[in-house]
Structure formats: C-alpha cells, structure tokens
C-alpha cells in the first residue's frame, strides 16, 4: 500500500506507523486535522513529500467531517485546521504547500458546501497521485547520473515511506537498480532517530539492493578511501540560491564529499523549493526533544548520565557551493543555482 491512503468506507485516513518499523508493519487510522498534526509531530509519518500529502488529507478530514451550516463558518473551520497543521513541523515547506493548495480551493470556490467538501478531498487525492508521478520522473532523471558499479552514500530516509510512494533520493537508487545497474549503498544510520538504519535499510531489503549500514561519522572515512562514487540525499526545503535544508548530518556529509571530489546530489520535487527565501539562512530549523538524543541505549542501558542535557536540531543547511546538482521532476539543476533554479521553475514540463 501507499504510505497513506483514504478509507472511503470509514471516511478516515490510514497511514503506516513509521515509529515501529522495521520491527512491525502496523497502520493507524486518523479522523481529524488534530490527529494528523499529532501524527506528523510524532513522526508516525515523516519525510517532506509525505507530510505535504498528509497535511492536505488533514484538511480533507476537517472538511468531510465538518458540521458547518454556512460558508463563513466552514471557512473559519478550514483556517483553524490549517493553523493546527502548519504548527506541526516547521522545516519541510511541503507541509504549508499542501495546506495552501487546499485553502486555495476553499477561497476560490462558489460551489455548494457538499460539492466543495468533495472537491477538497479530490484535491488531496490529486496531490497524492501527483507525488508518485513526480517521484518517478525525478528518479528517471537522477538514474542517468548513476553509473553501473557505483557505490553511493545515502543519508536519512528518502524512499517510498518518505513520500506517498516510490521516493525521492532513494527512488533514484531504485530506478537505477531497476535499469539493471549494479549498485552498492552505504546507508548512513542517521542519528538520532535512525531513519537510515531502520527505514532506508528496510526498503533496500525489499528492493533487493545490496547495502551496508554505516554510522554517520564513518562517511568521511569511506569518502576518503576513494571507493565512493556518489552521495545522495533529499531535502526538506531548498532556498532560491540552492542552499539545501535536509536531515541533520547532511552538511558534514556534503563537506566530506566536496573535499574528496565526490559529487553530492539532492533530490527534490519542485514543491520543496521555496523561492521566497533568498538563502538557507532564513530556513527555520526545528529543534526536537533532547530525549531523542539522550534516550539512545547501549546494552540495555541509557548511554548518557542521568541529568545530562542535549541539543537536537533536526535539520541543517548545506550551502549550495557543496551541492553538485539538484534532481527535480523537471530535470537536474546545475550551478549557478540562483539563475538555473528560477529558470527551471518557470519552465513548463
Ligand atoms: O525524519 P524526518 O521527517 O525528520 O526527516 C525528513 C526527511 O525525511 C529528510 O530530511 C528527507 O531527506 C527529506 S526528502 C524525502
């Protein structure tokens, strides 16, 4: 199944619970915008494209279950749902993009309320279907950059679980594999939530793509060995100048890749590019619960001493000078990014 799907019998949203993978494959059912916002905050669902679609479905839940009798009160309910969803996570721009696509329909519709509710749900389905289509296009462009025999370092999780289906950066790897290229993936475990060791590794196993998990801080060692050909990751927001906000640790990885002349590619749908921000300095960086860092245990015991404090930024910004190319559904964007991003975004597919 897709990462998230609408259940028409119950008018509810069903999603894979990514907190307990790979130990168990379980599903959760959500009934309101509040429940979706909690699920996003709690990482039941995660990854920029996936939370964009989830936010749109959160709006749809609010619409479908609304008891509002007038257009005015319906609009107020939708704005309230938008605010709740927008507060769930700050860095991935797809979240506000998904919410805005629905709000746009609410603002511009003259349909009777029942028709409007149906249109909102349809728009969420369209966002979902488009995501899969876009991911496959990105994968096709990206796979052209992958050579037979490549060893690739991958950071975070960017496979089908981080999207509606197929995935962004891992989608590129999957496409290259399906084209028959022999690829070996070194999977950054991606501390502190271990998305790489848990989710990327699980997905690679299903696709039967050879991989080994490495600790994040081993990436520099492998890059320096000369045995790594490419580095690939996703993004949660890309600024107009090509600076890339992605899962914490990406900056260090890109630095080590640059120092060793290994190309580093970010893979994003154009909905992740935020032209309103001139550079990565303006991207809000979410700081999460320190317990995500402190709670890691070794041989059954918590590693950190009781009372220790921690910092837990969930993302970092990689300056565009360290990025070799940005793979999108409209093609690969190369430097100079400021100019070429604007050009690509204005191009019809
Ligand atoms: O696990 P998250 O939601 O905190 O991390 C987000 C991501 O999955 C990545 O940063 C990812 O590379 C974005 S692109 C699928």
> What single string gives the DSSP state of each residue in 141-165?
HHHTTPPTT-EEEE-S--SGGGSSS
Q: At residue 25, what are phi and psi to the nearest 5 degrees? A: -100, 105
pLDDT at residue 92, as a whole number: 85
Give the Cα-Cα-Cα angle 18, 23, 29 (nearest 5 degrees). Answer: 40
pLDDT at residue 152, as a whole number: 98
Identify the CA nearest to 227 among candidates 177, 184, 189. 184
Q: In angstroms, what is the span from residue 247 Cα to ligand 1's centroid?
A: 6
pLDDT at residue 349, as a whole number: 61
Strands (E), the chain: 4-7, 12-16, 27-30, 151-154, 184-188, 211-214, 230-233, 237-239, 244-247, 264-267, 273-274, 297-298, 301-302, 315-318, 325-328, 331-333
- 157, 169, 199, 253: residue to mutate for ligand 1 pocket, most atoms within 8 A of CB: 157
Q: What pTM does this model have?
A: 0.94
Q: How far apart are CA 52 and CA 271, in angstroms?
A: 9
Task: Show which residues are catalytic.
Answer: 236
Closest-lying ligand 1 atom to the alpha carbon of residue 162: 15
pLDDT at residue 168, as a whole number: 97
Q: How far apart are CA 341 and CA 107, in angstroms?
A: 29
- 21, 153, 158: residue to mutate for ligand 1 pocket, most atoms within 8 A of CB: 158
Q: How far apart are CA 218 and CA 220, in angstroms?
A: 6
Q: In angstroms, what is the span from residue 316 Cα to ligand 1's centroid?
A: 11
Residue 183 contacts residue 173 (beta carbons within 8 Å)? yes
CA distance to 13, 33, 105, 129, 150, per residue, from 65 (Å): 12, 10, 17, 23, 50
Q: How far apart are CA 232 and CA 91, in angstroms?
A: 20
Residue 249 contacts residue 315 (beta carbons within 8 Å)? no
Residue 143 contacts residue 179 (beta carbons within 8 Å)? yes
Q: How far apart are CA 339 and CA 337, in angstroms?
A: 5
Mean pLDDT by 10 residues, the chain (349 residues): 95 96 96 98 94 97 96 96 96 93 95 96 97 97 98 97 96 98 98 96 97 98 98 97 98 98 97 96 96 90 93 98 98 98 86
DSSP tag of 322: G
Q: In angstroms, what is the span from residue 118 Cα to ligand 1's centroid?
A: 30
Q: How far apart are CA 137 and CA 103, in angstroms?
A: 27
CA distance to 211, 290, 299, 330, per residue, from 93 (Å): 30, 23, 38, 18
List pocket residues of ligand 1, CB cut-off 6 Å: 46-49, 156-158, 162, 168, 195, 233-236, 246-247, 314
Residue 216 contacts residue 191 (beta carbons within 8 Å)? yes
CA distance to 188, 202, 260, 303, 309, per residue, from 219 (Å): 7, 20, 11, 23, 26
Q: In angstroms, what is the span from residue 52 Cα to ligand 1's centroid?
A: 12
302 is written with which tokens?
């918590």
Q: How far apart are CA 237 and CA 162, in angstroms?
A: 14
Secondary-structure percent of the chain, ordered helix, strand, coil, rounded to 5:
45, 15, 40
pLDDT at residue 348, as a whole number: 67
Q: How far apart are CA 83 and CA 263, in angstroms?
A: 39
């Amino acid at each position: 199944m897709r990462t998230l799907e609408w259940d028409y019998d119950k008018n509810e949203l069903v999603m894979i619970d990514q907190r307990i993978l790979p130990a168990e494959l379980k599903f959760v059912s959500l009934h309101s915008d509040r429940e979706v916002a909690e699920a996003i905050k709690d990482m039941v669902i995660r990854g920029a494209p996936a939370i964009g679609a989830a936010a749109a479905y959160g709006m749809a839940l609010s619409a479908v279950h609304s008891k509002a009798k007038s257009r005015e009160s319906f609009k107020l309910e939708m704005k309230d749902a938008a605010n709740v969803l927008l507060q769930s996570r700050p860095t991935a721009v797809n979240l506000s993009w998904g919410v805005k696509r629905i709000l746009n329909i609410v603002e511009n519709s003259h349909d009777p309320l029942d028709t409007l509710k149906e249109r909102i749900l349809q728009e969420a389905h369209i966002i979902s279907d488009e995501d899969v289509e876009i991911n496959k296009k990105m994968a096709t462009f990206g796979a052209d950059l992958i050579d037979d025999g490549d060893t690739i370092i991958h950071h975070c999780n960017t496979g089908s679980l981080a999207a509606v289906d197929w995935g962004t950066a891992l989608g590129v790897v999957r496409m290259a594999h399906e084209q028959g290229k022999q690829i070996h993936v070194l999977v950054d475990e991606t501390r502190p939530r271990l998305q790489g060791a848990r989710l990327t590794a699980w997905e690679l196993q299903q696709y039967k793509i050879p991989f080994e998990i490495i600790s994040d801080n081993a990436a520099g060692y492998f890059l320096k060995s000369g045995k790594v050909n490419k580095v690939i990751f996703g993004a949660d927001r890309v600024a107009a100048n090509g600076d890339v906000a992605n899962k914490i640790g990406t900056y260090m990885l890109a630095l080590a890749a640059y120092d060793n002349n290994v190309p580093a590619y970010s893979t994003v749908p154009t909905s992740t590019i935020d032209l309103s921000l001139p550079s990565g300095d303006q991207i809000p960086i979410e700081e999460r619960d320190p317990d995500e860092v402190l709670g890691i245990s070794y041989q059954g015991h918590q590693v950190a001493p009781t009372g220790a404090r921690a910092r837990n930024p969930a993302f970092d910004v990689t300056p565009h000078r360290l990025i070799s190319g940005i793979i999108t559904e409209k093609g690969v964007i190369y430097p100079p990014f400021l100019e070429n991003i604007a050009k690509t975004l204005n191009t019809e597919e």
